[in-house]
Amino acid sequence: MTAHLACGPKPPRKPKLTPASGLPAPYNLRAEAANGRAVLFWSVDRKDGILISGYNIYLSEAAGAGDTLTWNNAPQKPHNDFPYPGDTDGNINTESYPIAGLRDGRSYTALVRTLGPGGALSEPSNMVIFESIGEGEFVIGNDHQAENGGFNFERGISIPGADPQSDIYLYATRDKVGLSSPSRLGAGLRKTEFLAGGASIAPLETVAIARGDIFTLRAHRGLATIKVEEIQGSYPRIKARISYRFRPDE
């Protein structure tokens, strides 16, 4: 008598998942940041037949050098709550990811991993460290009481030059145009120092300006670099268009 082995129906095969080592890893990660916002850009070699679920973006305030390798190999919870599907420009080999809510003057560390079906993760991208800096442009006039008579760097807004929160004001005579510390307008106003360079040169509270001039100044709550882009008008009504970058104190 011949024995027959009975076989039940085979269970349905689960879809074969691409192992983590087979997922395309992001590379050439870079960041552009300003005014509390940043955009991460990266490349990824997407190939036919390899499915991905999106990307995990990892973001942290920049760690010390001794913590860098640990963070790179095992970052914590992703910055994005759900897998990021990629941007909408139609090119699947380059991606970008916007970030808001950063603090100017702080350094941040970021990396990206491709997320596969079932939660598999690719190798990490290169790690980038970047800093958000306040930057922009403003027009300042020589009427100290006008709304554009001064500027507050920490908030990035125009205010009257004689306002207690103003960091600079513009002055004009028949012979010259300049920027000054509001403390020169009266007691209790902010003192700003224009750094002339070199430890032996004392900071200045007022400087004459011309188109193209660049100055570094110590404002009430940080360090600003300004460039005089243009001087407009004629005495007695003068305006200056100024671009700036501002790094607040910690």
DSSP state letters, 156-193:
TEEE-TTSTT--EEEEE-SS-EEEE-GGGTSTTSPP-E
Does residue 27 or residue 11 have the better pLDDT?
A: 27
Tokens of 205: 């509270």
Phi, psi of 160, deg, nearest 5: -60, 145
Q: Going from the N-terminus, what domains does the chain have, and what CATH number goes with each?
A: 20-131 (2.60.40.10), 134-248 (no CATH)
pLDDT exceeds 90 at position 7: no
The β-bridge partners of 56 are 113
| Residue 250: per-residue pLDDT | 73
Nearest-5° Cα angle at 53, 51 to 59? 130
Percentage of the chain modeled with pLDDT above 70: 84
pTM above 0.85, yes or no: no
How many C-beta atoms surround the C-beta of residue 5 within 10 A? 4
Locate the DSSP E strands across the chain. Answer: 27-34, 37-43, 54-61, 94-99, 107-115, 128-131, 134-141, 150-152, 157-159, 168-172, 177-180, 193-195, 206-208, 214-219, 222-234, 237-248
pLDDT exceeds 50 at position 17: no
**Cα 36 to Cα 19: distance, rounded to the nearest angstrom:** 37
Give pLDDT tens digits for 52-63. 999 999 999 876
Give pLDDT tens digits for 68-85. 555 555 557 899 999 999
Does residue 197 or residue 148 have the better pLDDT?
A: 148
| Residue 6: per-residue pLDDT | 40
Read off the pLDDT of each residue in 164-184 and give the average, rounded to a whole number: 96
